[in-house]
Amino acid sequence: MASTFCNLISIGSGQKKLGHYLLNQNNNARQVSLACMPILTRHGFGCEWHCRRVPSLYVVQRSSSCHHKTESCLNRTHKRRLATRRRQCRCTSFKNGEEHLQSTSEVKTEEYISRATLIWRAIKLPIYSVALVPLTVGSAAAYLQTGLYSARRYFVLLASSVLVIAWLNLSNDVYDYDTGADTTKKESVVNMVGSRTGTLLAAYMLLALGFVGLAWVSVGAGNVRSILLLACAITCGYIYQCPPFRLSYQGFGEPLCFAAFGPFATTAFYLLQSNASELPITGTILSVSLLVGLTTALILFCSHFHQVKGDRAVGKMSPLVRLGTEAGSTVVKVGVVTLYSLLLILGLSRALPFACMFLCSLTLPVGKLVVSFVEENHKDTTKIFMAKYYCVRLHALFGAALAAGLVASRMIVERSLQVVCLSCSTQEIVRVDIFLRILNEELRILDVKVFWMSFPT
């Protein structure tokens, strides 16, 4: 036993070497036994058996061939075992391969983001369409009602709205940084600047400037209701993200966004783009503000897809944290279908002019693009980042089509009246001119659908 153990130490402890050693030991024993073992041979047709000894050379040859066969068999077994282990490793890695490759790609992507890309993401320029669309649609609705439009007032309101949206973005970065939601977010303004206090101070300075501009236009228009509606919109933005409310962490961000940019902001801009101190809030303005609010809330909803893990880690219970990304993709689909269904219902009920329904329906491919992109990539945190920008595209195009439809409706009505005037006699022209003046006054107090019924195109 001791000699065997020493031989094992001398030849090594590998599997292949151990097999060679055992084969050699077995072959030596077999050579000795076979060399001394008699075998029986049969001669002729009889039953007489003779005993003779096997030559030692024959035994050596048989032992050598048996050794080679056994060695090749062990080699094949060893290779099969290695192949099996490799297949098992591949199967195990395949199960988690998608998540591993995804996390690896995320790390590489985040490592090599350029400074210019980070600045572009921090500015969030496409997001400022949420300031442009309510103002444009509200101004178009006021033009439909009164035929009046003030470019100077429009651009002052636009600049003031942009300052308020900048306050929303900067303060959101600050308060998300405080809760830990944006600690690893490279495009966060706080992380890029390195000063939490400076970012917060700049945010509230922008808010003050923006509110002064909005108040100045409201005083000039002599419309108190508009400044109250804008104050309500800014309040929605404050309780959405600022302490002690932070209702976005409870999942109420989308309803607040809908109310702020839809009924509040759009209606306020509608009131401010007229010279009248009291302009009626008709079914048309309520309809367009509903559609604008829905597309704006869709942007906020889709912006949470790539932040689910971070939001869950800090306790931010956004709708996607509660529902999951797969159910969230279904919500996006339902939201887009609801948007175009409302457009059809409001158009057929004459709450919206036919031109609005027609032009907005042309944006249907963009809505389909949003739905398909979210359904295909809701699990890919790298690609789904672009979902909110597709929603911004839908929001901007849908708002532009809505505003164009309102303006076109007014132009069609005026064109129809001009045709009527040209076909009348001199006395009738005077009467029509008086009627046009009455019409301008009536536009202030009557709903748009009445005029569509009175003057079909």
Domain boundaries, the chain: 115-420
Return the amino acid letter for 239: I
Tell me the range of 27-31, 109-113, 168-172 where mean pLDDT is highest: 168-172
Please state, in angstroms and as integers, the Cα–Cα distance from residue 166 to each residue in 94, 119, 132, 340, 396, following that order.
45, 14, 13, 30, 18
Answer whether residue 330 shows pLDDT above 80. yes
How sure is the predictor about 450, in pLDDT bands with cuts at 50, 70 and 90? very low
| Segment of 28-37, 307-316, 338-347, 436-445 carrying the highest mean pLDDT | 338-347
Quick one: pLDDT at residue 6? 46
Give the 3-state secondary structure of residue 39: strand
Give the containing element (helix H, strand E) for 386.
none
Residues 303 and 386: their CA atoms lie apart, in Å, by: 9
Site of tokens 């075998």: 39
Residue pair 192/169 in contact (Cβ under 8 Å)? The answer is no
Share of the chain above pLDDT 70, in %: 61
The CATH code that applies to domain 115-420 is 1.10.600
Average the pLDDT over each of 60-64, 183-187, 199-203, 297-301 and give the range with the smallest value: 60-64
- If DSSP codes are grouped into helix, strand and coil, which group holds residue 14? coil
The dihedral region occupied by 279, where left means phi > 0, alpha psi between -120 and 50, and beta the remainder, is beta
Task: Tell me the pTM.
Answer: 0.68
Task: Say if CB 249 and CB 316 are below 8 A apart.
Answer: yes
User: Which has the higher per-residue pLDDT, 300 or 415?
Assistant: 300
Cα angle at 285 between 281 and 289, to 5 degrees? 125
2 confidence band (pLDDT: 50, 70, 90): very low
pLDDT score of 374: 94
The one-letter code for the residue type at 442 is E
Tell me how far apart the alpha carbons of residues 272 and 218 are, in angstroms, rounded to a whole number.
Answer: 6
* pLDDT for residue 205: 95
Query: Which of the two residues, 195 and 52, has the higher pLDDT score?
Result: 195
128: Cα within 13 Å, side-chain hemisphere: 17
DSSP annotation of 127: G
Q: What is the average pLDDT value for the chain, to the nearest integer?
A: 75
Amino acid sitting at position 273: Q
Residue-level pLDDT at 436: 54
> What DSSP state is assigned to residue 307?
G
Given a contact cutoff of 8 angstroms between Cβ atoms, the answer to whether 346 and 358 are in contact is no
pLDDT tens digits for 134-181? 999 999 999 998 888 889 999 999 999 999 999 998 888 888 887 776
**Total number of residues shown for the chain:** 457
Cβ of 205: how many Cβ atoms within 10 Å?
A: 14
Q: Is the pLDDT of residue 45 over 80?
A: no
Which helix (H) or strand (E) segment holds residue 444: the answer is none
Give the integer Cα–Cα distance in Å for 409 and 348.
15
What are the phi and psi torsion angles at 53 (to 5°)? -95, 150
Neighbours of 70 (CB within 10 A): 16
Q: CB under 8 Å to 330, separation ≥6 — which residues?
A: none
Rounded CA-CA distance 30/35 in Å is 8
| Predicted confidence (pLDDT) per residue in 332-351, tens digit | 999 999 999 999 999 999 89
Query: Which of 101-110, 125-134, 200-209 has the least mean pLDDT?
Result: 101-110
More reliable by pLDDT, 279 or 107? 279
Longest CA–CA span in the chain (Å) reads 150
